[in-house]
Chain A
Amino acid sequence: MTTQNLEIRRSSASLWGEKTGMRHLPVVSKFIDTTTCIGCKACEVACQEWNDLEAVPTRQTGNYQTMPELDAEFWNLIRFNERDFDGGVVWLMRKDQCMHCEDPGCLAACPAPGAIVQYENGIVDVNPEACIGCGFCATGCPFNVPKFHAKTGKMAKCTLCVDRVTSGLEPACIKACPTGCLQFGTKDDMVALGHARVEQLKGNGFANAVLYDPPGVGGTGVVTVLGHGDHPEWYGLPADPHVPVGVRFWKSVLRPLGVVAMIGAVLGAIGHFMYQGPKEPRARDGEPPPPPGA
C-alpha cells in the first residue's frame, strides 16, 4: 500500500482528522435493486477476485445463502430470505455489505487514530496499518458489518473498491452484475434512480416499495430499493438504524473526561513531587534509618 495524502473527511479518534481534504469530491454511491436481483452471486465472486480473498469454507444451512454472516474474508454476501406474503411466499435477495454510512458508527466507535477513515467521496475504509483489531467498530456498526480477521489481527470489510474508484473505475461487484440491479454513480444520481424505480414499482403492484437510505446514520453510500419497504427486516435490514447511544456517550463524554482526568492525575503527581519532594523512607524498628536516596 502506498501512502498518499488523500481527501479525508473524518478520521477515527483524531481531533485534527476532519476536513483535511483540499479538494471537494462528489459523493459516490452504490445502487441495489433487490427486486431485479436474481441471486446469481456474481458480485460475491467479483469481490473475492478483486480483493484477492481466499475461499471461506461454507456449510449448507438449508438455503442458497453462501454463509450465515459476512466474514473478514468475505465482504459481499447475498442474503436469501423467504417470507409468507399474501397467501404465498416471497423470495427476497439482498446484497449485504458495508453501507458506507454518512455518519459511520464504526468510525465513531474506533479508538485507534486513523484506523477508520471517511474520504471526501463518502467511502468509509479500514486502514489496516493503524487498526489495532479491538473490534469496537463492530459494536458501533448498526448493520453488523466489520469482522475480525484472526490471521492478521485486524478488522476487515468492504472498501467500496476505493482503489478502483480513486482510479476512475467502478467497484468490482457493480461491474460484474449481469442483471443491472447494481449501479454505481454519484449519490445524487443513485438516489434519483432509486426514486424513479420506486415509482415504477408502485405502479406495478408494490405499493410499499421504498428507497432504503436511512436518515438515522445520515444516509448510506449504498441505497437499496426494497419491494416490501414496510418490512426492511425481511431483508435483514434494521428499520431505523442508529449509532448505539453507548458509543456516542463514550466517545463524546466519557473519553474526553477520561483524558482530562488522566492528564490532571499526571500533572498532580508531578506537582506534588515538585512541591513536596520525594517520599522519605520510613525507619524500621531496630534499624538505623537508611541514607536518603537509597
Chain B
Amino acid sequence: MQRRTFLKATALGGGVALGFDVSRAEAEMRALKIARTTETRSICPYCAVSCGVIIHTLGDKSKNVKPAVVHVEGDPDHPISRGSLCPKGATLRDDITHKNRLLHPKVRRPGSDHWEDISWDDAVSQIARHIKDTRDRTFVAKNAKGQVVNRTPGIAMIGGCTDTNEFNYLQWKVVTALGVPYRDTQARV
C-alpha cells in the first residue's frame, strides 16, 4: 500500500466513523398493513348508533388461506358514522380476536351453577320449545272486560343493536304473531 492511499483511506474512514454519512440518505418507509387485506363491511355491535365498520382480514379469500382479522376501522361510506368510531368501537379488532370471545352457544339450565355447551340446532329447538310452552301457559285470550286481546305477557323480546331494519321488521312480525306485548328493537335508529 502506498503512503498516499493509506492517508486517503485513513481520512475517509475517520470521517465515516465520526458521523459523516457517505451514502445517499434513504428512508425506511413503513408498509401499509392493510394494503391487500380483504375488506368486509359490518356494523359495530355495541350501541344503538350502529356505526359502519370495515373488517380487514388477512389474505384474499383464496382456497388455501385461513382468514384472520388484522384490523378494523370505520366505514367512510356508512351514512351514520362516515368513517368515525368511538373509543369502544375502535377496539373491535381486539373484541373479535380475544381468547374469551364466545364462538358457540351455551346454556345455563334452571337451577344450574354453570354454563354448558349446546349445538346451534339444539339451542334453537329448545328456545322454540320454551316459547311454545310459555305461550301456552300464559296466553290471555280476553281481558277482564271480556274483550279479545290475545296477549302473551310471559315473554319479552329485545332486538339486538346490530340488527338491520329488515331483520327488525321480521322480529316485530314474529312476536306480534305470538301476541308478545313487551318488545323493543332498535329499528328507530
Contacts and interface: CB of A to CB of B under 8 A. Distances in A.
Nearest to A126: B28
A17 B88 CA distance: 42
Contacts of A8: 25-27
A259 B18 CA distance: 6
B10 A267 contact: yes
B72 A49 contact: yes
A40 B86 contact: yes
A15 B74 contact: no
A13 B21 CA distance: 8
Interface in B1-38: 3, 6-7, 10-11, 14-15, 18-22, 24-33, 35
Contacts of B20: 15, 259
B110 interface: no
Contacts of A111: 19
B73 A46 contact: yes
| Most chain A CB atoms below 10 A, which of B27, B72, B87 | B27
Contacts of B85: 42, 46, 176, 178
Interface residues of A, number: 55
B21 A15 contact: yes
Nearest to A269: B10
Contacts of B94: 49
B29 A1 contact: yes
B28 A3 contact: yes
A249 B30 CA distance: 33
A163 B33 contact: yes
A274 B90 CA distance: 69
Contacts of B32: 163-164, 166-167, 169
Nearest to A162: B30
A61 interface: no
B21 A113 contact: yes
Given A42-B84, A267-B11, A176 B29 contact: no
A1 B71 contact: no
A45 B87 contact: yes
A167 B35 contact: yes
A110 to B, nearest CB: 11
A54 B119 CA distance: 35
A164 B10 CA distance: 44
Interface of B: 3, 6-7, 10-11, 14-15, 18-22, 24-33, 35, 71-74, 76, 81, 83-91, 93-94
Given A46-B90, A125-B27, 9 more contacts: A5-B26, A14-B21, A127-B28, A175-B73, A176-B90, A178-B85, A263-B11, A263-B18, A270-B7
Interface of A: 1-6, 8, 11, 13-17, 20, 40-42, 44-46, 49-50, 52, 111, 113-114, 117, 119, 125, 127-130, 159, 162-164, 166-167, 169, 172, 175-178, 180, 255, 258-259, 262-263, 266-267, 270, 274
